[in-house]
A and B are shown apart, each in its own frame.
Chain A
Amino acid sequence: MSAPTLEIRNLTKTFPIRTAFGGKAGAVTAVDDVSLRVAAGAVYGLAGESGSGKSTIARMVMGLTRPDSGDILIDGQSIIGVKSHAHRGRVQMVFQNPGASLNPRRTVGQSIRVALDAHGKPAARVGDLLDMVQLPRHFADRYPHELSGGQKQRVAIARALAVEPRLLVLDEPTSALDVSVQAKVIELLEDLGRDLGLTYLFISHDLSLMRNFTAEVGVLYRGRIVETGPTARVFADPQHDYTRLLLASVPVISDEEAALRPDIPLINGELPTAEELLALRQAERKSE
């Protein structure tokens, strides 16, 4: 059996809280003992809200942040302490805000060429890459401000594909886009994944999108994966209360979807926060 494209083992990362004088005042655990496996060609979703640790995991997979403990393996090889250049050829990332991830003073072609040059690939590939993301070739001479949000994100995808990676980390790649543009970008990602055999780690807070795009999902709450499994199953029959709360919070557009949302007990006529709900359940369990 071949090794999974991405394997994360007991990954932990804490950030120190510093006092005004630089002394250590404590630590926050951003990622707490996270393990997951993504098979070649699969799409794995990490669902979570702000502070869940999903972006820290992405940064560690990209080699931008060092974990405190645990291991990250790409195709069975650990990336911890490996020279970054080789690693960058295998993992790439598409950032959340396409406006911020492209240098405003450089043309589309120049931005893509950086990636090609860095990995010794011919500059002539720029045209092919633009074809791949369904942009006209003459866009190579455009500057980011001349492009729409969806077009910029296509450029960012083309740039990530330039190094011919095995794994693409997608950090909320469509959250800054209009819904009709989002649909097209997701479609493009699906086509590319199939044609190029890419593996995706998809990070998002949008559960509806998660349901449609990913095969498997891990729900992150305060740095821990509280529930994981095939996306369809987790959404149809959520086991953890936090997953249930997340699902219940999604604004939906049809009665069928609304029927799928779990019922959450109201506290003083209000939807509870995650902390309140979990505390309530714990109290219930104790009294039983």
Chain B
Amino acid sequence: MSDLDLSEQAALSNAWQNWYRFSRNPTAVIGAIIVVVAVLLAVFAPYIVPYPADAGAVVDFQHRHLPPSWEHWFGTDNTGRDNFSRAIYGLRVSLALAGVVLVIAVPVGTVLGILAGYFGGWTEIVIMRLTDIALAIPPLVVALAVAAVLEPTLLNSMLALASLWWTWHARLVYSVTRQVRAQEYIEAAETLGASKLHILFREILPNVISPVAVKTSLDAGFVILIGAALSYLGLGVRPPTPDLGTMVANGANFLPDFWWESMLPATVILVLALGFNLLGDGLRDLFDVEDVR
């Protein structure tokens, strides 16, 4: 058959094409590098940081409020702890927060979105109206309320955020599912006698993965910012656990003289959030998906 050679070529070059497009997209590459480096730093924090002991409650008045130097890249805080070491440890909290919130919210939102999009009717009305209601509530406000009513712990903040965050994914997956459902291959699967479960999770799900991946990456940046905001307001991690938001709040007391104590951790938060956003944008270009904020 003469049309074979064409597909051989396609098969060979597919992985290559994706890699090529990704590597030619500076935004995506920078985003990916930031995220990977941040994750590695967080995981190996105890082996990397110059002053691992400073992650705890250490008081060293001799070295308090030192400006950035070769010994202390980010300077020291009001109890003389190394801010760089604490910032690296702080990555752990930010990434864990984003990870837990999204691990709960993304699957829940995706499943509800697919169900609503595929079945329509009452399923759609119930799920999507619930989503609309939940969408109307700002996550930060709920997190504040939960922290105020219950204990202001990291776990409570995570649960508060996760309890609302699924709605964004449900919306997205719902609209993508609606488009996919109208495709002929779904009808083909139905005429072949495939089960509903098969159609939902084998036929439709793989087609919503790309936009969900893009959104998840973008969301990770937002969750990190909200988490930092909660900590800044004193509703996040309890001292002495190192946390970037808490460091900013603490350092803000000593502005403008000891500017590094708040500004440098704040920069770390920004760069981390930026990294996730760049990665998300890059993935969006790579997958060529639309409709994702």
CB atoms of A84 and B193 under 8 A apart: yes
Q: How far does the alpha carbon of A118 sit from the alpha carbon of B202 in the complex, in Å?
A: 13
Query: Of residues 163 to 211 in B, which have CB atoms within 8 Å of A's CB atoms?
Result: 183-195, 198, 202-203, 206-207, 209
Residues of A contacting B10 with CB < 8 Å? 145-147
Q: Contact at B194–A95, with CB atoms within 8 Å? A: no
Contact of B194 among A89, A118, A147 (CB under 8 A): A118
How far is it, in angstroms, between the C-alpha of A111 and the C-alpha of B199 when the chains are bound?
11
Which of A114, A150, A156 gathers the greatest number of chain B CB atoms within 10 Å? A114
Q: A104-115 toward B: CB 8 Å interface, digit per residue (1/0)?
A: 111000110011
Q: Report which of B183, B184, B192 forms a contact with A118, defined as CB distance below 8 A.
A: B192
B150 on interface, CB distance cutoff 8 Å: no
Give the residue of B14, B184, B195 whose beta carbon is less than 8 angstroms from that of A101: B184
Q: Is B288 an interface residue (CB 8 A)?
A: no
Q: Counting CB contacts under 8 A, is A249 at the interface? A: no
Q: Which residue of B lies closest to A152 (CB)?
A: B7
Residue B11, interface by CB 8 Å: yes
The answer to whether A85 and B185 have CB atoms under 8 Å apart is no
Whether the Cβ atoms of B188 and A159 lie closer than 8 Å is yes
* Cβ B192 vs Cβ A92 within 8 A: yes
CB-based closest 9 A-B pairs: A105-B206, A118-B193, A88-B193, A100-B184, A148-B3, A115-B192, A101-B184, A146-B10, A103-B185
Shortest Cβ distance from A107 into chain B, in angstroms?
Answer: 11
In the bound complex, do residue A115 and residue B193 qualify as a contact, i.e. CB atoms below 8 Å apart? Answer: yes
- Please determine whether B14 and A146 come into contact, CB atoms closer than 8 angstroms: yes
Q: Are A159 and B191 in contact (CB under 8 A)?
A: no
Contact B3 A106 (CB under 8 A): no
Q: Complex formed: what's the CA distance from A143 to B209 in Å?
A: 16
CA A171 to CA B11, docked complex, whole Å? 29
Q: Is the CB of A92 within 8 A of B7?
A: no
**Which bucket holds chain A's interface residue count?**
35 or more
Which chain A residues border B198 with CB–CB below 8 Å?
114, 117-118
Residues of A144-203 whose CB lies within 8 A of B: 145-148, 150-151, 156, 159-160, 162-163, 181, 184
Q: Could you jot down 16 A-B contacts, CB within 8 Å?
A: A63-B191, A85-B193, A92-B191, A93-B191, A95-B187, A103-B207, A105-B209, A114-B189, A115-B193, A117-B194, A118-B192, A146-B7, A147-B10, A148-B6, A150-B3, A163-B193
Chain A hits for B195, CB < 8 A:
118
Tell me the bound Cα distance from A136 to B5 in angstroms: 13
Known: A101-B184, A156-B188. A181 touches B203 (CB 8 A): no
B interface residue count range (under 10 / 10 to 19 / 20 to 34 / 35 or more): 20 to 34
Greatest chain A CB density within 10 A among B6, B184, B187, B198 is at B184
- Contact in complex: B3, A100 (CB < 8 Å): no
Q: A119, B193: Cβ atoms under 8 Å?
A: yes
Q: How far is the CB of B287 from chain A (nearest CB, A)?
A: 12
Instruction: Contact check, B192 vs A62: say whether CB atoms are below 8 A apart.
Output: no
B190, B191, B198, B207, most chain A CB atoms within 10 A? B191
Chain B positions within 8 Å of A181 at CB level: 3
Choose one: B6, B186, B190, B192; the contact of A159 (CB below 8 Å). Answer: B192
Chain A residues, Cβ within 8 Å of B192: 88, 92, 114-115, 118, 159-160, 162-163
A142 and B203 in contact, given A84-B193, A93-B191, A159-B192 (Cβ under 8 angstroms): no
Indicate whether A64 reaches chain B with its CB closer than 8 angstroms. yes
Question: Does A97 make an interface contact (CB < 8 A)?
Answer: yes
Residue A46, interface by CB 8 Å: no
| Contact partners of B185 in chain A: CB under 8 A | 100-104, 111
| CA A95 to CA B187, docked complex, whole Å | 10
Nearest B residue (CB) for A85:
B193
* B183 touching A105, Cβ below 8 Å: no
Q: Which residues of B contact A103 (CB under 8 A)?
A: 185-186, 189, 203, 206-207
Q: How far is the CB of B192 from chain A (nearest CB, A)?
A: 4
Q: Which residue of B lies closest to A105 (CB)?
A: B206
CB–CB A105/B184 < 8 A? no
**Which residues of chain A are near B202, meaning CB under 8 Å?**
106, 110, 114
Residue of A nearest to B182 (CB): A100
Most buried by A among B4, B189, B195, B203: B189
**Separation of A103 and B206 alpha carbons in the complex (Å):** 9
Name the residue in B1, B11, B192 with the highest tally of chain A Cβ atoms < 10 Å from its Cβ: B192
In the complex, are the beta carbons of A100 and B191 less than 8 A apart? no
Contacts of B7 in A (CB 8 A): 142, 146-148, 151
